[in-house]
Amino acid sequence: MATDVINVQGLSKHFGELEVLRDISLRIKGGEVVVIFGRSGSGKSTLLRCLNFLEEPSAGAIEIEGVCVEVGPALRARREKIHQIRRSCGMVFQEFNLFPHFTVLENIMEAPCTVKGESRTKASARAKELLERVGLVEKADEYPIRLSGGQKQRVAIARALAMEPGIMLFDEPTSALDPELIGEVLAAMHDLAKDGMTMLVVTHEMGFAREVADRMLFMHEGQIIEDGPPSKVLNSPEDERTKRFLEAVL
């Protein structure tokens, strides 16, 4: 039986007086694909950003792949744990955030060379393997400006995978794309799921959730109010707020 690779206890996040996350507790097993959905402002993206400490939580504890960080002062030992968690979690953003002055290959090589100290030879070979995986090996020497949105996002996925994370976090990875380009990004994510990657995906792509997700979480006003397999959440949600949301989007 798969063990928990993410364990969140009592997570809260405030921006001044605004409470964005309220006492969230969550466990995710290795290999699970979990889709997080809900209205804008419900806390979905903030939850992902707290998991790898792009946002500093206001309260609670986060344990990822055995490394536990509790909210508290920025002590040296705590900072090292946060670095470990960030190395465990690859993240793909709504905006692609590629370096415009680097080629596709260089974008993927940058983090392994800079953060892990890999040789350029090793990083280049790995980058080419990842480009093959996302179907873009022929674009290795192109610059991002010459890529479509869907291609940029697939490069962003390859770049995140270059650090060999155990977990991938996707923050609305298709929302900035034209409709005809969404499918190619979802296909790359589908392949990752088939390979057993643990994934948390913030998305409104309900077709992807129905086909790929093991669990769906519905967030409302900073809380998880629905948690279950897609067949149950999409077809017979328990909470009336989930039902109203799905009626509006399906």
pLDDT in tens, 25-40: 999 999 999 999 999 9
Q: What b/e readout covers 50-61, taking b as 16+ CB neighbours within 10 angstroms?
A: bbbbbbebeebb
Please determine, for residue 1, whether its predicted confidence score (pLDDT) is greater than 70. no
Per-residue pLDDT tens digits for 87-115: 999 999 999 999 999 999 999 999 999 98
Per-residue pLDDT tens digits for 122-138: 999 999 999 999 999 99
> In the predicted model, what is the mean pLDDT of the chain?
94
Confidence (pLDDT) at 75 = 65
**CB neighbours (10 Å) of residue 140?**
17
Question: Between these two residues, 2 and 190, which has the higher pLDDT value?
Answer: 190
The share of the chain scoring above pLDDT 90, in percent, equals 90
Going from the C-alpha of 116 to that of each of 93, 96, 112, 120, 213, the distances in angstroms are 22, 22, 5, 11, 31
Q: Residues 169, 200: contact at Cβ < 8 Å?
A: yes
Of the candidates 20, 192, 18, 186, the one whose C-alpha atom is nearest the C-alpha of residue 90 is: 192
Please determine, for residue 208, whether its predicted confidence score (pLDDT) is greater than 90. yes
pTM value is: 0.94
Per-residue pLDDT tens digits for 171-186: 999 998 999 999 999 9
Question: Between these two residues, 87 and 250, which has the higher pLDDT value?
Answer: 87
Confidence (pLDDT) at 72 = 76
Distance separating alpha carbons of residues 156 and 63, to the nearest angstrom: 25
CA dihedral 69, 21, 198, 170 (to 10 degrees): -120
Of the candidates 97, 231, 62, 65, the one whose C-alpha atom is nearest the C-alpha of residue 171 is: 97
